[in-house]
Amino acid sequence: MTKVIKGNIIFTKVKDSFEVYENSYLIIENGLVKAITHELSDEFIDLPVEDFGNHLIIPGFVDLHLHAPQWPNMGIGYDEKLISWLNLYTFPLESTFDNIDIARINYTNFIKELKLVGTTRACIFATRHLHATKLLISMLRESGIGAYVGKVNMDRNAESPLIEKTKDSIEETLELIKEDSLYKSQIHNPLVNYILTPRFVPSTTPELMTALGEIADEFNLPIQSHLDENPEEITWVKNLHPEISSFAHVYEHFNLLKPNKTIMAHCIYMTDEEIQLIKDKQVYIAHCAASNNNITSGIMPLRRYLDKELLIGIGSDISGGHTLDIRENMIMTIQASKQYHVIHPEYKPISISEAFYLATKGGGNFFGKVGSFELGYEFDALIIDDTNSNKKGLPDEPLTSRLEKFIYTGNPDNIIKRYVRGNEISLD
């Protein structure tokens, strides 16, 4: 099936500059970008055109790290740092998800907002609860959004019912994986897939990490976790595993760093050896500037990592982050890089095109050909009506300034349509 849409097309093929096609046609075949042209060629001339006039057409936003159950806690508790924040706010909330009704209410609100803010792909932590996680997966499949979702594995360093028994954690994970395999045998190339989700080293025993590493191999599954977020956390890991040289090497030791299939959130304090390991293993970094700031974790050296060509996307990390909106997270990514530049003038700030790249193609790469409008990319897109930001009695701005203005001053109401893999997503 072939579709043609028309408007002002903007995306980033590389991070240093925008690709801009003013008033142009985008041809989509079976959900993939087939061409972008200023004039329609004979081949497509008879197709109906959906004309978005002066609106912007941009790739959908990719959120590489978030905790769906923490949706109700966004904006609460930011006078605390990581470990006390987890104990005071996060763990008590997550422990309520053994109640499926609480899970349903919160996941309904979460998915509604995720669609609203224009996120088209997301990597999602659920809680440790089997049934609530099944529910979240099925609700995401209904939503039309693309996602990796995992039940959290956590079997040490807290009291029951917060944590689970190792055996239960493995069995329930396998149950979810089997359901996922069954679904895949019925639906070709599904948009929602399972991802192994050990919470972080202090929450998972060596036995559990070993099992998860084996499961990852057996079922060829991706993995997501947290790395080097907070000095107190890093010391804790060091005390738990004094025989292993670094936090990142603990994951490596348990066979949890799979090339191109692993995401580590935060990565603020990586040593040179850890950076090399993350690069060698082609691990994706989910950069969570809002969260890193709110719970005073530190400033990730984004420019330094970009210079080393690490794989990086943006994560909202709700509810360490206070907003699901990747547009707002782009602002905070740029702002954090500017603060870093103030301290280390040799590392220049992130530009607007670089932030946009991270929010689209940078994270999208984890999903395959996602986050760009290059040929063959899956058509995930947002249609932006920025009329309300442009009433100013002055000539129209260049398209890239309009995009910058939408990023800094827009809101979800500016997004009038959302597409994932060529299909429009409904907000209902």
Least Å distance, CB 159 to its own copies, is: 20
Torsion, CA 124, CA 126, CA 132, CA 135, rounded to 10? 0
Interaction site with its own copies (CB under 8 A): 71-72, 74-79, 93, 96, 101-102, 105-106, 109, 293-294, 296, 298-299, 322-323, 331-332, 334-336, 338-339, 341-343, 349, 351-352, 389, 391-394, 397, 401, 404-409, 411
Residue at token pair 């990565």: 267
> Which lies closer to its own copies via its Cβ, residue 216 or residue 268?
268
Cβ neighbors of 19 (< 8 A, separation 6 or more) are 9, 10, 11, 12, 13, 373
- Amino acid, single-letter form, for residue 153: N
CB atoms within 10 A of CB 346: 7
- Give the CA angle between residues 144, 148, 152 to the nearest 5°: 130
- Starting from the edge strand earliest in sequence, which strands make up the sheet with 119-125, in order? 61-67, 119-125, 146-150, 192-194
Q: How far is the CB of 66 from its own copies (least distance, A)?
A: 14
Closest approach of its own copies to the CB of residue 337, in Å? 9
Q: Give the C-alpha separation, 215 to 220, whole Å.
A: 8
Nearest distance from C-beta of residue 132 to its own copies, angstroms: 12
Whole-number minimum distance, CB 341 to its own copies, in Å? 6
- DSSP classification of residue 378: B
User: Least distance to its own copies from the beta carbon of 50, Å?
Assistant: 28
Between CA 62 and CA 64 the distance in angstroms is: 6
Quote the longest CA-to-CA distance of the chain: 68
Instruction: Judge whether 256 and 262 are in contact, CB under 8 Å.
Output: yes
H or E segment and range at residue 51 = strand 49-59
- Closer to its own copies by CB, 103 or 211: give it: 103
Contact residues for 130 (Cβ-Cβ < 8 A; gap 6+): 151, 172, 175, 176
Closest CB to its own copies among residues 38, 392 = 392
Shortest distance (Å) from residue 287 CB to its own copies: 15
| Identity of the residue, 35 or 102, whose beta carbon is nearer to its own copies in the bound complex | 102
CB nearer its own copies, residue 49 or residue 116: 116
CB of 212 to its own copies, least distance (A): 30
Angle between helices 166-186 and 206-219 (to 10 degrees): 10
Task: Give the residue with the Cβ less far from its own copies, 6 or 104.
Answer: 104
* CB closer to its own copies, 23 vs 339: 339
The residue among 31 and 77 lying less far from its own copies, judged by its C-beta, is 77
Q: Which is nearer to its own copies, 283 or 331 (CB)?
A: 331
Q: How many CA atoms lie within 13 A of 366 on its CB side?
A: 38
Min dist CB 19 to its own copies, Å, is: 18
Q: Could you tell me the end-to-end alpha-carbon distance of the chain, in angstroms, rounded to an integer? A: 25
For residue 156, the minimal CB distance to its own copies (Å) is 27
In sequence order, which ranges of 241-325 are alpha helices (DSSP H)? 247-253, 272-280, 289-294, 302-307
Q: Which is nearer to its own copies, 118 or 422 (CB)?
A: 118
Residue 314 CB partners (closer than 8 Å, separation 6+): 62, 63, 64, 286, 287, 288, 289, 326, 329, 330, 333, 355, 358, 359, 362, 363
